[in-house]
Amino acid sequence: MTRIGILGAGRVGTHLARALSEAGHDVVLGRRDPTQATTAATRATMGPRISFADQRTTARTAEIVINATPGDGALDLLAGLRTELAGKILVDVSNATRDAADGLPGDLCHPGSSLAEKLQAALPDTQVVKTLNTMLFMVMTAPESLATPPTAYLSGDDAQAKKTVTGLLHDLGWRPAWIEDLGDVTTARATEAMILVVPHVLRRHGFTPFAVSLAR
């Protein structure tokens, strides 16, 4: 059992929180607005292993932190939590893009680099691991739901951190054959660029679950 903090309480964050809590982990969902009320109905839906806090408290008290905040503002947000994130694993599942006119992902915010690389540079005492950013959020916690086995890519400089994150992926239902370790954190620029295909798929098919995967 691990105490996991998730920054961001939107669709991605709540899906991950439910799945990880069901796997036996204690989860803290970090909200941008700590004064936002949590109703009894919301607490019941989320389950007893999930609690809520502000983002700074979430980062400070968790053993592993997942970044599920919007990617275009994640660098500034997380750089401000450098002390709280020191010595911890930061799992980055976001994509840093500028919205297109229709609100879907547009151009990359960090062309020629990646959000994961920027985060690692800003957080030298934190082990950043990029994963789960190449699929719709519902696939993150139900990879077996797709007709074709999906791929969860891993990018990060620390081998032990990637091993720990691989364990979390197993808890979410990812089989070993579906996990592809690409190498150091610079490889995240490849997987983050995969977001460029996503808006075109969404415009044609809507939010039907899919992943950008490696076929063998």
Over residues 121-134, mean pLDDT: 98
Over residues 113-122, mean pLDDT: 98
Tens-digit pLDDT profile for residues 21-66: 999 999 999 988 765 645 444 555 676 789 999 999 999 999 999 9
Tens-digit pLDDT profile for residues 86-114: 999 999 999 999 988 788 888 999 999 99
Q: Which pTM value belongs to this model?
A: 0.93
Over residues 188-213, mean pLDDT: 94
pLDDT exceeds cutoff 60 at 134: yes
Spatial separation of the C-alpha atoms in residues 1 and 168, rounded to whole Å = 10
Q: Which residues pair with 50 in a beta bridge?
A: 27
DSSP the chain: --EEEEE--SHHHHHHHHHHHHTT-EEEEEES-TTS---HHHHHHH-TTEEEEEHHHHHHH-SEEEE-S-HHHHHHHHHTTHHHHTTSEEEE----EEE-TTSSEEEESSTTS-HHHHHHHH-TTSEEEE-S-SB-HHHHT-GGGSSS---EEEEES-HHHHHHHHHHHHHTT--GGGEEEEESGGGHHHHHHGGGGHHHHHHHH-S---B-----
CA geometry: angle 124, 30, 44, nearest 5 deg? 145
